[in-house]
Amino acid sequence: MNAKSVVFGAIVFGLASVALSIDDTKLGNEYRWIVVDGPYACASKEDLRQITKHHTDETELQMVDELRAYYLIAGTIVQLVQEDSSSGMSQIHLGGITRDLWTCTRFLSKRPLKDPYGVIETPEASGLVSAQAMGTSGDTRERPGATPAPYANPQPTVSPMPPTTPAKP
């Protein structure tokens, strides 16, 4: 063996050791994208088991009506709170929903997916990251010299309908 092979082997071994030792159990800022459409997010693991194992229209309607199941939409981004590998379930946080929900881990993707509008959601746009965490003050008052955002509502203009004149008596 020559010296180059030994050095190269040591580098590869070192890099592999570092890669395998990365602690991916810290889930604070991990995000996933939903891959299914349907009522597959529940407040409890037992409700999730019920809706996935005994899925009927009647069960679905009853659980959604009782707020025990929530609809997931493919392409929606969620924040991963907890992963239970023994049960194959993950606890997630959705923007706009105040409680954390459980869903099957197989319904989540680490790779970004497009939502029904063809857009890839981001944590900032979905409400998963607060304005303070993004470095803004949350103050929405107008400031002198500020220009409106490009997505602001347009100002009203002249109506495209011609004015009508009152009927002559």
Contact 76, 108 (CB under 8 A): no
3-state DSSP call for residue 100? coil
Domain extent at residue 118:
28-126
In the sheet that holds 101-104, the strands lie side by side as 69-72, 38-42, 101-104, 89-93, 77-84, 31-34, 108-109
36 inside domain:
yes
50 inside domain:
yes
Tokens in use for 8? 């190269």
2 inside domain:
no
> For 1-5, 15-19, 42-46, 131-135, which range has the lowest pLDDT when averaged over its residues?
15-19
13 inside domain:
no
* H or E element that contains 96: none
Tens-digit pLDDT profile for residues 54-111 = 888 998 999 999 999 999 999 999 999 999 999 999 999 998 888 999 999 999 999 9
Backbone angles phi, psi at 11, to 5 degrees: -65, -45
15 inside domain:
no
Q: Which of residues 164 and 137 earns the better pLDDT score? A: 164
Cα(89)–Cα(82) distance, integer angstroms = 9
Cα(75)–Cα(118) distance, integer angstroms = 9
Residue 47 has pLDDT above 70, yes or no: yes
Quickly list H helices, the chain. 3-20, 45-53, 57-65, 123-126
Q: What's the predicted TM-score (pTM) here? A: 0.61
3-state DSSP call for residue 161? coil
Number of domains the chain is built from:
1
Contact 51, 59 (CB under 8 A): yes
> For 20-29, 81-90, 151-160, which range has the lowest pLDDT when averaged over its residues?
20-29
